[in-house]
Structure 1
Amino acid sequence: MNSIESLQWRYAVKKFDENKSLSATQINTLKEAFNLTATSYGLQPVKMVVIQNKAIQQQLVKHSWNQPQVAQASHVLVLCIPKEYTVKDVENYFSLVKNIRNTPDEILDPFKIMLTSSIGNKTQEELSNWNKNQAYIALGNLMTVAANEQIDSCPMEGFVPEKYNEILELEKHNLTSVLVLPVGFRAEDDYMKDLKKVRRETSEVIIEL
């Protein structure tokens, strides 16, 4: 399928086939797609927890507004951002740039000074909101790549981050959960599977100048 056909095929799965699992190749594709997601300044403030553990998945259901897809899915992807984001994270990014590209300091330093100053002057609340926006970019990218790979998904905001943080022990990684994406394969008896996609006409949502 081409990209548009894949997006037509995609929908937010309401029931996964519990007997089907993603292959190692498929889950690695999603991991690489996540890592290649665009982020502001390339800072990559978002991390992803990959869960393939039915006991943990079942435990998370009651903290996911009782959405059964969390337990049914082959894997559950949890997008997380730092609880505390600092200038040190920015400095680590520039060290990575230097190591990979061997960019001279005289080229990096002006950008580094600007960015560290900008980050240093923001509150943690401002940084958290900014980083959460980056998580949504990653979510959209993951959903599109999954559709192109014929992998089903169901994006979720409806969950209790504090409980996810506790169960997944995210505190020790300086992380908090912000989005959840169960992935796998749609069940044949998912009532949503064959319904027509409801979208407005392109002319109603596109403004051409």
Structure 2
Amino acid sequence: MTLINHLNWRYATKRMTGEQVPQEKIDYILEATRLSASSMGLQPYTVLVVEDKELRTQIQKVAYNQPQIVEASHLLIFAAWDKVTEADVDAYMQNIAEVRQIPVESLADFKGSLMNSVVNRTQEQQYEWAARQTYIALGTALAAAAEQGVDATPMEGFAPDALDELLNLKEKGLRSVTLMPIGYRNTEADFLATAKKVRREKEQLFVKLA
């Protein structure tokens, strides 16, 4: 199957069966998420992986009792960094230097660019930038899940402040942005399971500029 076939197959699943997704498929989805694009490659977010049913039951209460939270096999929580510091940038520069086996000093211009475009913003601007990066990772995770024949649902329908308090995210320097339950569709309980995919036609969506 091609990516287009997988994307035609996937939809925002409303009900899941509770069946466990094999660990190798979870690992594949997580690795694809790790490799996702990110502005300047910084990846200013953390992806929390929740399998524990009791914890997901608590999370469901701050997610408007949506059933996918507990019917899923796993729940991914995409949480943006609350702020980006020079120490974060230094750690990233060191990682680049080690992976590419180059002197960290050779990255001085790149570090300066990151400092000017991200670190020197207000904290709220930093968070808003970081939050947007999580959506890129979310999109990659959705596509990877579809490729594995695993259902996934992107969710903004939850109370972020309440979830952050439940998981003590503030103390970790994180703020929850979006959720993604992973599992298998319940075709009997989900009214959308057999519905045709509805998207705008390409002539409406794409505008070719001369």
TM-score calculated relative to the size of structure 2: 0.94
Which residue of structure 2 lines up, in the alignment, with residue 143 of structure 1?
142
Question: Sequence identity, in percent?
Answer: 38
Q: What is the rounded CA distance, in whole Å, between the counterparts of 1:64 and 1:12 in structure 2?
A: 16
The question of whether the paired residues in 1 share the 8 Å contact of 2:156 and 2:179 is answered with yes
**1:106 shift after superposition:** 5.1
1:103 aligns with 2:106: no
The question of whether the paired residues in 1 share the 8 Å contact of 2:187 and 2:194 is answered with no
Q: What is the rounded CA distance, in whole Å, between the counterparts of 2:104 and 2:157 in structure 1?
A: 45
The question of whether the paired residues in 1 share the 8 Å contact of 2:45 and 2:174 is answered with no
| SS in structure 2 at match of 1:47 | strand
Runs of 4+ in structure 1 deviating by more than 4 angstroms, as ranges, are: none
**1:115 shift after superposition:** 1.8
Which residue of structure 1 lines up, in the alignment, with residue 206 of structure 2?
206
The question of whether the paired residues in 1 share the 8 Å contact of 2:82 and 2:126 is answered with no
Q: What is the rounded CA distance, in whole Å, between the counterparts of 2:170 and 2:205 in structure 1?
A: 41
Which residue of structure 2 lines up, in the alignment, with residue 66 of structure 1?
65
Q: Deviation digits for residues 11-70 of structure 1, max 9, x if unmatched?
A: 00010002x111110111111111111101100111100000111111111211221111
| Paired amino acid for 1:176 | R
| SS in structure 1 at match of 2:80 | strand
| Paired amino acid for 2:108 | D
Supply the RMSD in Å over aligned alpha carbons: 1.3
Which residue of structure 1 lines up, in the alignment, with residue 170 of structure 2?
171
The question of whether the paired residues in 2 share the 8 Å contact of 1:87 and 1:119 is answered with no
Structure 1 stretches of 5 or more lacking a match?
none
Q: What is the rounded CA distance, in whole Å, between the counterparts of 2:207 and 2:76 in structure 1?
A: 34
Which residue of structure 2 lines up, in the alignment, with residue 2 of structure 1?
2
Q: What is the rounded CA distance, in whole Å, between the counterparts of 1:60 and 1:113 in structure 2?
A: 40
Count of aligned residue pairs for this structure pair: 208
TM-score calculated relative to the size of structure 1: 0.95
**1:105 shift after superposition:** 4.3
1:187 aligns with 2:183: no
- Quickly say closer, same or farther: Cα 1:9–1:96, change in 2 above 3 A: same
Q: What is the rounded CA distance, in whole Å, between the counterparts of 2:93 and 2:17 in structure 1?
A: 44
Structure 1 residues 8-157: aligned runs within 5 Å: 8-18=8-18, 20-105=19-104, 107-157=106-156
The question of whether the paired residues in 2 share the 8 Å contact of 1:91 and 1:116 is answered with no
Which residue of structure 2 lines up, in the alignment, with residue 196 of structure 1?
196
| Paired amino acid for 2:144 | V
**1:118 shift after superposition:** 2.9
| Paired amino acid for 1:192 | L
| SS in structure 2 at match of 1:196 | coil
Once structures 1 and 2 are overlaid, which stretch shifts more, 109-118 or 57-66?
Answer: 109-118
Q: What is the rounded CA distance, in whole Å, between the counterparts of 1:9 and 1:60 in structure 2?
A: 28
Q: What is the rounded CA distance, in whole Å, between the counterparts of 1:113 and 1:192 in structure 2?
A: 49
Structure 2 stretches of 5 or more lacking a match?
none
- Quickly say closer, same or farther: Cα 1:106–1:92, change in 2 above 3 A: closer
